[in-house]
Amino acid sequence: MLALLRTSRWVSFTALVLLAIIGFGFLSRWQFDRAEQHREERLTIEQGQIIKDPQFDISGTAEFSRVTMTGQYLGADVLVRQRPLDGGNGYWVLTPLQPNANADMVWVLRGWLSASTQALEVPPIPQAPSGDVTIDGVVRVFEAPRSDVSGLPDQVISRMSTEELSFAGVAQDRVLQLIRSEPEDDLITVPLPEIDEGQNISYAVQWILFALVALGGWFVFLRREAQDEVRDHDLVESEN
């Protein structure tokens, strides 16, 4: 076998296998890192801080904190497009809320609304409850804006970003995602993100298996060729 490994063909083949194994190792490590990131994100969502006292200003509050807020909706609903739910396309409905205690306005993610069959047709938006509304919700951060979108209908935006959400007054720097409210809202509640690191761990293990297959294949081919050389040598010796 050692003689075979010194040949240029096997030097090249061995180098190729080593590069493949190193590449599989990096990919496996990357998937394990992604799994760890997803695990931390999942724990952040599941273990979000519960703030028991009623809040009127959630600016700067950690994302996924649970808060209660009381105020009055101001109308001026906005739809965030391309938000699928249970296999159907639809919108997130954002409505400004004026909290009590003279705090700045806060955008409330009231819920989900199914899209119309017509691409540019804005579906009717259920009216927000009137009067004082008490919301149990989750603090969310604004999304990064998009610059490649144009021609959207009125009341429709592409991202839940401060750049696309316009309001005459001062708005808080967080969004309140509604979990429940009193009075109840007619919209479908938007579920919190579901994050599972299991798929990344599965991919990481698969890359390790690929590396083992590459190593095993290299050894099998080497052994087979060495056996073939011994067999050919014995055949030549027997003929002589």
Nearest Cα neighbor of 84 from 196, 199, 191 is 191
Give the start-to-end residue ranges of the domains of the chain: 6-43+200-239, 49-182
Is the pLDDT at 69 greater than 90? The verdict is yes
Residues 109 and 92: beta-carbon distance below 8 Å:
yes
pLDDT at 138: 93
The answer to whether the CB of 76 falls within 8 A of the CB of 95 is yes
Q: Return the CATH number of the domain spanning residue range 49-182.
A: 2.40.50
Q: Which two tokens stand for residue 157?
A: 């935006």
Which pairing describes strands 90-99 and 78-80: parallel, antiparallel, or unpaired? antiparallel
Tens-digit pLDDT profile for residues 134-162: 999 999 999 988 777 677 888 888 899 98
CB under 8 Å to 184, separation ≥6 — which residues? 129
Would you give the end-to-end CA distance of the chain in angstroms? 24
The closest of 70, 54, 73, 62 to 111, measured between CA atoms, is 73
* Averaged pLDDT, 22-30: 93
Q: Which residue has the higher pLDDT, 7 or 66?
A: 66
Predicted confidence at residue 48, as pLDDT, reads: 75
- 137 in Cβ contact with 155 (< 8 Å): no
- Residue 118 predicted with pLDDT over 90: no
Check: CB of residue 98 under 8 Å from CB of residue 131.
Answer: no
Helices (H), the chain: 2-5, 8-46, 198-239
Give me the pLDDT at residue 21, please: 93
228: burial class by Cβ within 10 Å (0-12, 13-18, 19+)?
A: exposed
Give the residue from 168, 133, 170, 154 showing the smallest Cα distance to 54: 133
pLDDT at 45 over 80: no
DSSP three-state, residue 226: helix
* 33 to 24, 25, 142, 204: CA distances (angstroms): 14, 12, 25, 9
DSSP secondary structure code for residue 60 in this structure: T
